[in-house]
Structure 1
Amino acid sequence: MTFNITVEPSGRSFTADPSEAMLVAGIRQGIGLPYGCKDGACGSCKCRLVSGTVVHGPHQSKALSADEEAAGYVLTCCGVAQSDVVIESRQVTEAGALPIKKMPVRVSSLARASHDVMVLRLQLPAADTFQYHAGQYVEFLLRDGDRRSYSMANAPHTQSTAPQIELHLRHMPGGKFTDHVFGSMKEKDILRIEGPYGSFFLREDSDKPIVMLASGTGFAPVKAILEHMRFKGIARPVTLYWGGRRPDDLYQQEWILAQAAAMPQLTYVPVVSNALPEDHWSGRTGFVHQAVLQDFPDLSGHEVYACGAPIVVESAKRDFVAQAQLPTEAFFADSFTSAADKL
């Protein structure tokens, strides 16, 4: 027996087995529901249950509180249909979602961008093609069955000159994967990835001005989107806010400044929250999402693309909607949940 899942207002539908999460079923059938961590930790897949019955697997209250569940909201990543279901999700992508593939990749280079950020480039199989939207991510398939997710930092069109992807990894001391990356990983190592995943990519059917908000290595998918916009000649105004604790956390400022010189519609605002005297920082300070509010007290006519630490993404969505009249459906995000965040 299967249940029918209908997504409003698009009217698209798919079927789900009684034991599988709705998100898994949707991805399998090419329905682009919004999501981030896929583990009940970030809340990116939260949507309203219009009708039907859904039971939830384990999830964090910050992703879906008891009050939200009582009010009729569900997480599709861990919500399992018990009947035919209708949900409301305005971010459903069009038919023809890109295929998800598993493939071996070879480490082509490792380069430190800062004391705790590694730029990892992976060579893709020459005999295969890997399609993705700028802003999406891949998962590394570890030998013990665990997975680790990282966003592509290069736009898809760059595959035409070199079939490789660029990832930005922050070292998490004690982290199973990043300890290996910063310790024993070397060029020509073979890894396995699966993807593309994620609903964080540019909505090209809009002409609204864009505010981009990145914290730390949340800059990686933003970089890919900016590369894509430049390549496609998309001239929508973009203001990029990149936040870090110290100036060194803004590890590719030279790249941004070069893009800004070539893209007149791009404005860059770096923000540092914990500058020390020896940093000689003269730029904006404080929390990066508050810098946005200072400059854009009214976001009602904008779209926001936010990526980085969960606390930054959550604070931005809450305050932009409540204080700056940003429509909820105009906030697109990828919350970088770590393995520790999912415990």
Structure 2
Amino acid sequence: MTIKCQVKSIEPLACNTHKILLHPETPVSFKPGQYLLVVMGEKDKRPFSIASSPCRHQGELELHIGAAEENAYALEVVAAMRDALNNHSYIQIEAPNGEAWLQESDRPLLLIAGGTGFSYVRSMLDHCIAQNVQKPIYLYWGAKTECQLYAFQEMQQIADKHQHIHFVPVVESAPADWSGKVGNVLNAVKDDFASLEEFDIYIAGRFEMAGAAREQFVEQKAAKRDRMFADAYAFI
């Protein structure tokens, strides 16, 4: 369904990442973990995860868009959003999309995000908190540098408040005072778990990351292939 949206606000998060709030002309019903398509042209529709959760979005859709200088694909979307905000015009989206939404299950959750893939797992985590889900939840967030973990403090506060929620930040390049994990986020997961057999696993990141996770976790950690979810799996 194509829907016109007002751009309510654009705020910098960190490291060329923008938080964008859209107000759709008609309400959008979606599930945690689904995404929308920003319509840039008739054959140019660009996917972004919905960072807000279905139960607490108050009619607005939140996006986290990483738009570094070398990323024209995202930069053009942010520019179009800014034009719509400044000119009081509209952006068109298609929503909802995606089959890798949060499933109802008693199995513990493992949420893995690379970079702005955090928006995918953020929707799920917020939904679980709002619904008072008490099963163990582990969120691993990987980035090149600490500054790309733009919701680091928020996540630390959530983990401190909820004993069943565990936040594990992982950076490839760490400053001297970094106390978290260093290296590849998938390796961090493998180091921390002897088995992933009991987990529902949700992954957001580059296609090669999602593919590597499925291959490595199934072969090395007994993960159930049919309990691993990522939008990438519809394409690879």
CA distance in structure 2 between the partners assigned to 1:259 and 1:321 by the alignment: 30
1:122 aligns with one of 10, 16, 22: 22
Q: Could you tell me the percent identity over the aligned residues?
A: 28
- The structure-2 alpha-carbon separation of the partners of 1:113 and 1:335, relative to structure 1 and needing over 3 Å to count, comes to farther
1:226 aligns with one of 84, 105, 125: 125
CA distance in structure 2 between the partners assigned to 1:304 and 1:143 by the alignment: 34
Gaps of 5+ in 1: 1-100
Q: Which has the larger radius of gyration?
A: 1
SS at match of 2:30: coil
Determine if the alignment matches structure 1 residue 149 to structure 2 residue 43.
no
Greater share of helix residues, 1 or 2? 2
Q: Give the CA deviation at 1:200.
A: 1.6
What are the equivalent positions in structure 2 for 1:232-243 lying under 5 Å apart? 232-243=131-142
- The structure-2 alpha-carbon separation of the partners of 1:287 and 1:181, relative to structure 1 and needing over 3 Å to count, comes to same
2:174 aligns with one of 262, 275, 279: 275
1:327 aligns with one of 224, 231, 234: 224
Query: 1:225-251: CA deviations, max 9, x gaps?
Result: 011101111111011110000001111
2:99 aligned partner: 199
Indicate conservation of the 8 Å contact 2:108/2:200, yes or no.
yes
Determine if the alignment matches structure 1 residue 251 to structure 2 residue 150.
yes
Determine if the alignment matches structure 1 residue 168 to structure 2 residue 64.
yes
Q: Give the CA deviation at 1:312.
A: 1.7
SS at match of 1:181: helix
CA distance in structure 1 between the partners assigned to 2:60 and 2:133 by the alignment: 24
If the length of structure 1 is used for normalisation, what is the TM-score? 0.63
Indicate conservation of the 8 Å contact 1:238/1:265, yes or no.
yes
CA distance in structure 2 between the partners assigned to 1:268 and 1:321 by the alignment: 23
If the length of structure 2 is used for normalisation, what is the TM-score? 0.90
SS at match of 1:132: coil
- With a CA cutoff of 8 Å and minimum separation of 6, indicate the structure with the bigger relative contact order: 2
Gaps of 5+ in 2: none
Q: Which amino acid aligns with 2:55?
A: H
Q: Give the CA deviation at 1:336.
A: 10
Query: 1:62-101: CA deviations, max 9, x gaps?
Result: xxxxxxxxxxxxxxxxxxxxxxxxxxxxxxxxxxxxxxx2
- The structure-2 alpha-carbon separation of the partners of 1:150 and 1:286, relative to structure 1 and needing over 3 Å to count, comes to same
Q: Give the CA deviation at 1:219.
A: 0.4
Query: 1:35-69: CA deviations, max 9, x gaps?
Result: xxxxxxxxxxxxxxxxxxxxxxxxxxxxxxxxxxx
What are the equivalent positions in structure 2 for 1:127-142 lying under 5 Å apart? 128-142=26-40
SS at match of 2:141: strand
1:105 aligned partner: 5
